[in-house]
Structure 1
């Protein structure tokens, strides 16, 4: 659906631009000639109103001329600079909440054309701990947002709700990094996040240079039987292939991520989440007379940068 809007915006912009170009190069000279002929016949300079009566610009061409610059600027901003996204689920709680509207920096990793997503310019690659938006590998028409946990060549283990990472071994290194336990510290004893009626445990975790919070549901058991199985590894272990990334949601027991469907190829990357520009409360009761999609309030305190 997200790619549909990109294609639609691109097509509309191109059509408006072609109409404007045809009018400027073909129709406008003809209008100017008619005006010149009429002024010669009358032996006087016509006013703007009279010129419009003698050689009016078509309504479609006039509309295309007025909207093309706006559409072009929007297309450039949305395709190559920043694109707004809405958080539709609770998989990234507590970092991102349902109802948050974020800006994604499209040029963080590369510049791609908005239709075929061919890489035009390579800029950078994701760092461990960043929050990335990407095309969902099983269904690329959908945009997903998760935290980057594993980089190419990393060995990832998620066992008993504990994350282990063995960074990729550099070919020039004389000794490879050891398997590291990603420590987590209990952040809050009083639960403020829930899954239904179940209070969730909130932990502080350090991934690379990024410190962030995660949530764990103490009532949920081991789900490794549902994990994506990579040949040659244990059920709860993965080795990230070159050109791919391993991503997870911060709401660890309520996130459909790499543990269940595999890796994110570089070509699926859209950009890096950088800013929450609006956050709506969406807790309207079922008995309300208003539709459920109408916000109940604004969480002003959430506006700002994303970690």
Structure 2
């Protein structure tokens, strides 16, 4: 009996240490709040965020990330621009470094849009929140997939890389919508 209790005790301690290591360095679970990434993610979806992706420098244009906006709020957004990128929108078309980019992940929202353009025209040089020719070093530019209902870099400006929690790698709830790979490859193939 004592040997069995000791084995259970050791197993529980090892499990607790593994949980702490996993949460600290590898990944963490988040509950999506709000509609800013709809339909890619909906309110109350549950996702796993890979913290190691950030540590290894694997965050790239097109990835969906979680970021610390302030001490109370974490946001889920899509990386649109990285350091050195020039970002603009014209007639509902995204331009990165003057190259038009197709955003397949917006198709569902474009079908149901109420206004002529899903994304208003802008240029990061003229946005009140950014006013830069290009995304500065150590920063990224993010947008929500639900462009008409998203608080993002258009309003709060560039995101410091230190604010990034990690990359969303898995939606595990609702169970009928389990999915991995939310990247937008068409965004990662743009030249500087």
TM-score scaled by length of structure 1: 0.49
The equivalent residue for 1:102 is 47
Equivalents in 1 of 2:93, 2:169: separation in Å? 27
Equivalents in 1 of 2:58, 2:161: separation in Å? 8
Helix, strand or coil at the partner of 2:147: coil
Q: Which whole-Å deviations, capped at 9, do the CAs of 1:144-181 have from their partners, x for residues lacking one?
A: 11111001010011234331110xxxxxxxxxxxx112
* Structure 1 residue corresponding to 2:115, chosen from 195, 219, 223: 219
Gap change, CA 1:160 and 1:76, over 3 Å in 2: same
The equivalent residue for 1:293 is none
* Structure 1 residue corresponding to 2:99, chosen from 180, 204, 211: 180
Find out whether 1:269 has 2:144 as its counterpart. Answer: no
TM-score scaled by length of structure 2: 0.75
Find out whether 1:244 has 2:139 as its counterpart. Answer: yes
Equivalents in 2 of 1:271, 1:86: separation in Å? 14
The equivalent residue for 1:21 is none
Matches of residues 47-66 of structure 1 in structure 2 within 5 Å?
none
Name which structure has the greater RCO, CA cutoff 8 Å, separation 6+.
2
Gap change, CA 1:218 and 1:162, over 3 Å in 2: farther
C-alpha contact (below 8 Å) 1:228/1:261 kept by paired residues: no
Equivalents in 2 of 1:244, 1:163: separation in Å? 19
**What is the Cα deviation at residue 108 of structure 1?**
0.5
**What is the Cα deviation at residue 69 of structure 1?**
3.9
Q: Which whole-Å deviations, capped at 9, do the CAs of 1:91-140 have from their partners, x for residues lacking one?
A: 11111111211111110121xxxxxxxxxxxx12411111111111xx24
CA RMSD of aligned residues (A): 2.7
If you compute each CA radius of gyration, which structure gives the higher value, 1 or 2?
1
Q: Which whole-Å deviations, capped at 9, do the CAs of 1:216-247 have from their partners, x for residues lacking one?
A: 433387586xx54434x5xxxx6200011001
* Structure 1 residue corresponding to 2:83, chosen from 130, 141, 152: 152
Equivalents in 2 of 1:129, 1:228: separation in Å? 24
Gap change, CA 1:218 and 1:161, over 3 Å in 2: farther
Find out whether 1:127 has 2:46 as its counterpart. Answer: no
* Structure 2 residue corresponding to 1:84, chosen from 29, 38, 42: 29
